[in-house]
Amino acid sequence: MPREIVIPQFDRHYRDEAYVTTLFGNGHVSSFRDLDGFYEVSLTDLNLANGTSNATIHSRREDLSSTQIADGCYEGYPVLTSLGLTGNLASIQLTTGVHIMTVESSG
């Protein structure tokens, strides 16, 4: 009787470059392996003993706490962007970490 090899498929939640919080600090998703469901995450705020900050971990979705929210940003409250635009933070896309804001026209 022939046997079939079943390859597990894992759903991807976070997209590449999404900023996430890990058990080891903040980082951004570099890639996703759909064969085993692991994300490769480059840590952004880790200072290693040798003075470098280049560290990469492999983590499952369950171990990634949440999408990072920029410091001082709260949904529904005013924000000022690095481009000089002001508006209100409308929402944050959980799979990408993109902050969406509403801007009122001055015209």
Residue 94, CA distances (Å) to 14, 36, 41, 54 in order: 8, 22, 16, 25
d(CA 54, CA 22): 15
pTM of structure: 0.66
Question: Are the beta carbons of 20 and 32 closer than 8 angstroms?
Answer: no
Q: For the chain, 107 residues long, give each residue's pLDDT as a single digit of tens.
A: 667 776 668 888 888 888 888 888 888 899 999 888 999 999 987 777 777 778 899 999 998 876 667 777 788 888 887 788 888 888 888 777 788 888 876 65
